């Protein structure tokens, strides 16, 4: 299917997944507002959210392979399709695990799921935006919904503090992004990224300082959203204080959407200005791999440790931006998919072990978990191995793909740093595994209860897909490569070199 966007109907068809998801959110919110006073929303709200996500996913698959005009307001291409797939699957997994948390903490389900779906609509628009105004509007739609979700546990002061911190930092990020957009518009006279690209390249060639300032502010706005060092300081507090399903959503969905938008804007539309932005992104990648991995070594809270781990993974992903190639984009998207699975799965286990009020959130609370709850511990073992980059998981294949992208681009220093910081991360991941299987639980240590249906299904799906992606990565990698490739280049060599 090809979209010329000569008529408005083309836009409606191309945006059908987002429209269905937004309508589902409205149905949930209005249905809860007009439900009988004695009605119980817990039964139908997650089901309605799941149906909406499934319908949106079906429409994304239906639009797969479609093409659109390159200078249109929105993109219809493989990059958008792969990103939508990651976002929708990640949101569905969060919906599956959030039910137990909302019931345990006595939080309203309808508002939570409505905000979750609206945030996902913003994310999907963000990865589809080919106009800087739509880019900003989508970013704000996503951000405002996530601000509220971060402070959703209103009776918990940590959640309120996390929501306030995230809101303040998010406002700074939005201001930088919008000011950068304004400067770029002032220099190029357009908000369309496809038209802006050649104008930016010409301006860089003559050394326009306003253009350089605009690109810098645009990069800072994105760096805040993906939590790249040194714009990461809000992340540990916000992740630790937010409800754990929201933390999983922030660490995956928000980061994935912002990263894909960064990937599209800088490595596709503004590639002609790479001599301006490539060196700053190189330093962002280097610092974001090193600093959080070192800080994570000293963390006693598993949730905070995973927050710093999430920051470090943003550094790994930035290697694909520095590579600025189809190989780099393909590797980044594959790793984003694997990262989404292993992060949501690990946070799901963490919130279940923590119990009501997050009482058991320290590394010491995991002593003996491998013998008291073997299934839960085995799932966490797979997720931690994947985060560390051990074979045969998709996390290993993703890091190998990023490593190859760095080497092919001549970025040997980044490749070596990726390997060395991954070795550093082994300590804090293996520390949790050691506590689970080689330390005995204290006599007075409370054991977590058995996992319930939604949590079991979500963690089982994450484990299965991570292992399949590690054992049989070739087909997935080729599909991702074909989706974002203009000349048919794929990552077959990475698949052939993996176990």
User: Is there a contact between 402 and 331 (Cβ–Cβ < 8 Å)?
Assistant: yes
User: pLDDT of 351-384, one tens digit each?
Assistant: 888 777 667 778 888 888 888 888 888 999 999 9
Q: Which residue has the tokens 């070795």?
A: 423
Those residues whose C-beta lies under 8 Å from the C-beta of residue 8, and which sit 6 or more positions away, are: none
Q: How far is CA 188 from CA 47, 195, 221, 271, 487, in A?
A: 47, 9, 20, 15, 29
pLDDT at 357: 65
Beta partners for residue 301, in sequence order: 362
User: Is there a contact between 68 and 76 (Cβ–Cβ < 8 Å)?
Assistant: yes
User: Can you read off the two tokens belonging to residue 316?
Assistant: 């790994």
DSSP designation for 192: B
pLDDT at 356: 73
For the chain, which ranges sit under pLDDT 70? 3-7, 36-42, 204-206, 357-358, 443-445, 447, 485-499
Report the C-alpha gap between 86 and 84 in whole angstroms. Answer: 5
Report the C-alpha gap between 154 and 3 in whole angstroms. Answer: 45
Q: Which letter, b or e, does each residue of 426-442 get, where b requires 16 or more Cβ atoms within 10 Å of its Cβ?
A: eebbebbbebbbeeebe
Nearest CA to 135 out of 191, 185, 87 is that of 191
Phi first, then psi: what are they for 358, rounded to 5°?
A: 55, 50
Report the C-alpha gap between 23 and 43 in whole angstroms. Answer: 19
What CA dihedral angle connects 79, 97, 144 and 35, to 10 degrees?
Answer: 120
pLDDT at 314: 93
Report the C-alpha gap between 317 and 259 in whole angstroms. Answer: 8
pLDDT at 497: 46
User: Is there a contact between 397 and 477 (Cβ–Cβ < 8 Å)?
Assistant: yes
pLDDT at 6: 65
Burial class of residue 159 in the structure, from the number of CB atoms within 10 Å of its CB (0-12 exposed, 13-18 middle, 19+ buried)? buried
Task: Please spell the DSSP secondary structure of 151-179, one letter per residue.
Answer: T--TT-HHHHHHHHHHHHHHHHHHHHHHH
Report the C-alpha gap between 313 and 293 in whole angstroms. Answer: 9
pLDDT at 412: 92
Helix 412-438 vs helix 394-408: angle between axes, to the nearest 10 degrees? 160
Query: How many C-beta neighbours within 10 Å does residue 478 have?
Result: 17
pLDDT at 66: 78
């Amino acid at each position: 299917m090809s979209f010329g966007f000569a008529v408005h109907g083309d836009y409606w068809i191309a945006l059908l997944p987002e429209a269905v998801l937004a309508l589902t959110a409205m149905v949930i919110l209005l249905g809860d507002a007009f439900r009988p006073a004695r009605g119980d929303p817990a039964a139908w709200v997650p089901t309605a959210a799941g149906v909406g996500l499934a319908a949106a996913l079906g429409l994304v698959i239906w639009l797969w392979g479609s093409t659109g005009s390159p200078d249109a307001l929105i993109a219809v291409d493989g990059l958008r399709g792969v990103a939508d797939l990651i976002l929708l699957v990640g949101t569905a997994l969060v919906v599956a695990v959030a039910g137990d948390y909302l019931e345990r903490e006595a939080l309203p389900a309808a508002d939570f799921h409505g905000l979750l779906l609206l945030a996902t609509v913003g994310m999907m628009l963000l990865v589809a935006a080919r106009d800087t105004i739509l880019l900003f509007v989508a970013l704000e739609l996503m951000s405002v919904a996530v601000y509220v979700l971060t402070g959703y546990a209103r009776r918990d002061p940590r959640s309120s503090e996390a929501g306030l911190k995230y809101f303040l930092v998010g406002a700074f990020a939005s201001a930088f992004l919008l000011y950068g957009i304004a400067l770029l518009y002032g220099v190029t006279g357009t908000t369309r990224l496809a038209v802006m690209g050649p104008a930016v390249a010409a301006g860089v060639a003559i050394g326009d300082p306003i253009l350089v300032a605009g690109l810098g502010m645009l990069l800072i706005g994105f760096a805040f959203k993906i939590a790249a060092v040194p714009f990461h300081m809000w992340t540990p507090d916000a992740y630790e204080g937010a409800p754990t399903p929201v933390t999983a959503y922030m660490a995956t969905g928000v980061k994935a959407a912002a990263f894909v938008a960064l990937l599209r804007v800088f490595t596709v539309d503004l590639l002609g200005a790479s001599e301006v932005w490539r060196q700053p992104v190189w330093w962002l990648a280097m610092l974001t791999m090193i600093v959080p991995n070192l800080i994570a070594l000293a963390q006693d809270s598993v949730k905070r440790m995973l927050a710093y781990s999430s920051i470090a993974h943003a550094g790994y992903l930035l290697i694909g931006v520095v590579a600025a190639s189809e190989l780099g984009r393909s590797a980044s998207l594959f790793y984003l998919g694997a990262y989404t699975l292993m992060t949501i799965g690990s946070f799901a286990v963490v919130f279940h072990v923590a119990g009501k009020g997050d009482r058991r959130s320290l590394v010491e609370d995991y002593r003996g978990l491998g013998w008291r709850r073997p299934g839960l511990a085995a799932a966490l073992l797979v997720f931690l191995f994947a985060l560390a980059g051990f074979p045969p998981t998709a996390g290993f294949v993703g890091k190998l793909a990023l490593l190859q992208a760095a080497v092919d681009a001549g970025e040997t220093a980044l490749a070596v740093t990726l390997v060395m910081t991954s070795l550093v991360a082994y300590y804090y991941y293996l520390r949790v595994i050691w506590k689970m299987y080689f330390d005995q639980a204290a006599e007075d240590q409370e054991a977590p209860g058995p996992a319930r249906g939604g949590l079991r299904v979500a963690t089982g799906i994450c484990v299965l897909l991570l292992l399949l992606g590690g054992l049989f990565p070739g087909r997935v990698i080729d599909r991702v490569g074909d989706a974002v490739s203009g000349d048919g280049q794929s990552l077959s060599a990475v698949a052939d070199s993996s176990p």
